[in-house]
Amino acid sequence: MKFFYEFERRFNRYAIPNLMYYIVILYAVGLAVYVVNPVMYWSIYGNYLCLDGRALLHGQIWRLATFLIFPPSFGSFRFTSVFFGIIALFMYHSLGQTLENVWGSFRFNVFFFMGMIAQALACLIGYVVFKQNWMLTTGFLNSSVFLAFAMYFPDVQFLLFFVLPVKAKWLAVAECAVYLYSFVFGSAAVRCELVVSLANILIFFLLTRNFKRYAPREVRRKNNFKKEVKMHPKRGTTRHRCAVCGRTEADGADLEFRYCSKCEGSYEYCKEHLYTHKHVIKEDGGQS
């Protein structure tokens, strides 16, 4: 949307680069305290650090940030918790860093902070509307990062139980199925928590999408162009070519090509290499 692009242009310089690196450090601190003394960890986190609607309304605003000191993948047993907690630290750092490379630091900052605000909002709604004092952690926030990753890279494979390769899109479908079950059979409070906590994904993608391509005039122009190409085909000539792999529209009807705004010159890339290529900068006399 236009206002978001203007917002990004004005405040882009304030973005925190490598944000997920600092988030993972907070996760690691929580994991380290848990390993040393699990009882003390739960006591400190529950009483002073987690999102608590009543405490927030009484001025304990530091909880908006300190609830992040909760590493993902706690299990029932100490060894299981620590082992999968360490694996999760590496995984979420990789997921977050990949999204930041695709979106840029500013947009990833907006996405993650929107998730934090959504968690706090769900906590306050639970306390004010449903009269329940929810104590929320980073669960849904981590889920939103994974779901966003799966939307952009659906065919990336994860080793389930370190053995079974499963694509990200199927893991995302399974996770959404669990949320759907909780929404249908859960209480009103659970439904509110699910909707508010995960709504940041939908809102973020609506803010950052370019809807001009779906305008009736643009759709009509594309349809007319396709008709002209079919009526007047030119053998041996193509309009689009990826600067990395060399593929053209003749290699597949589903291929899409885009120009990179960061490359100096008219360099076009297929969807697979649009975010992974090295930018061409003429000052260096080559790619960087």
* Residues whose CB is less than 8 angstroms from the CB of residue 201 and which lie 6 or more positions away in sequence, other chains included: 144, 147, 148
**Percentage, residues of the chain above pLDDT 90:** 9
Question: In this structure, are 199 and 254 located in the same domain?
Answer: no
In whole angstroms, how far apart are CA 75 and each of 31, 72, 110, 168? Answer: 12, 9, 30, 22
Give residue-wise pLDDT tens across range 33-85.
888 888 888 888 888 888 888 888 988 999 898 888 888 764 443 445 677 77
Q: What average pLDDT does this structure show over 234-263?
A: 76
pLDDT at position 109: 92
Question: In this structure, are 258 and 163 located in the same domain?
Answer: no
Q: 88 vs 285, which has greater pLDDT?
A: 88
What is the token pair recorded at 179?
Answer: 């949320």
pLDDT at position 288: 47
What is the token pair recorded at 273?
Answer: 């290499």
pLDDT at position 227: 65
Q: What is the DSSP letter of 18?
A: T
Is 224 a domain residue? no
pLDDT at position 121: 87
* Residues whose CB is less than 8 angstroms from the CB of residue 239 and which lie 6 or more positions away in sequence, other chains included: 248, 249
Is 136 a domain residue? yes
What is the value of pTM for the model shown? 0.68
Question: In this structure, are 178 and 286 located in the same domain?
Answer: no
Is 233 a domain residue? no
The vertex-177 CA angle with 176 and 179, nearest 5°, equals 65
Is 219 a domain residue? no
pLDDT at position 228: 63
Question: In this structure, are 186 and 243 located in the same domain?
Answer: no
Q: 244 vs 236, which has greater pLDDT?
A: 244
* Residues whose CB is less than 8 angstroms from the CB of residue 82 and which lie 6 or more positions away in sequence, other chains included: 31, 34, 35
Q: Which of 189, 208, 227 is the C-terminal boundary of a domain?
A: 208
Q: Where are the alpha helices (DSSP H) in 104-187?
A: 105-128, 139-152, 168-185
Q: 19 vs 135, which has greater pLDDT?
A: 19
CATH number of the CATH domain containing 31 = 1.20.1540.10
Q: 216 pLDDT exceeds 80? A: no
Question: In this structure, are 99 and 154 located in the same domain?
Answer: yes
**Would you place residue 18 in the very low, low, confident or very high pLDDT band (cuts 50, 70, 90)?**
very high
Question: In this structure, are 86 and 200 located in the same domain?
Answer: yes
Neighbours of 1 (CB within 10 A): 12
Is 178 a domain residue? yes
Residue with tokens 């882009």: 12
Q: What average pLDDT does this structure show over 89-109?
A: 89
Question: In this structure, are 275 and 142 located in the same domain?
Answer: no
**3 state SS for 240-265:** CECCCCCCEHHHCCCCCEEECCCCCC
Is 202 a domain residue? yes
Is 58 a domain residue? yes
pLDDT at position 284: 46
Report how many domains make up the chain: 2
Q: Which of 190, 208, 226 is the C-terminal boundary of a domain?
A: 208
In whole angstroms, how far apart are CA 178 and each of 82, 119, 189? Answer: 24, 19, 16
pLDDT at position 226: 65
Amino acid at residue number 132: Q
Question: In this structure, are 161 and 249 located in the same domain?
Answer: no
Question: In this structure, are 200 and 125 located in the same domain?
Answer: yes
Q: Could you tell me the residue range of the domain that residue 90 belongs to?
A: 2-208
Q: What is the mean pLDDT of the chain?
A: 80
Q: 22 pLDDT exceeds 90? A: yes
Q: Which of 170, 186, 208 is the C-terminal boundary of a domain?
A: 208
Question: In this structure, are 203 and 242 located in the same domain?
Answer: no
Q: 283 pLDDT exceeds 60? A: no
Q: 166 pLDDT exceeds 60? A: yes
Assess contact for 60 and 47: CB atoms under 8 A.
Answer: no
Nearest to 113 by CA among 233, 14, 261: 14
Question: In this structure, are 145 and 9 located in the same domain?
Answer: yes
Is 231 a domain residue? no
Q: 59 vs 131, which has greater pLDDT?
A: 59
Question: In this structure, are 131 and 254 located in the same domain?
Answer: no
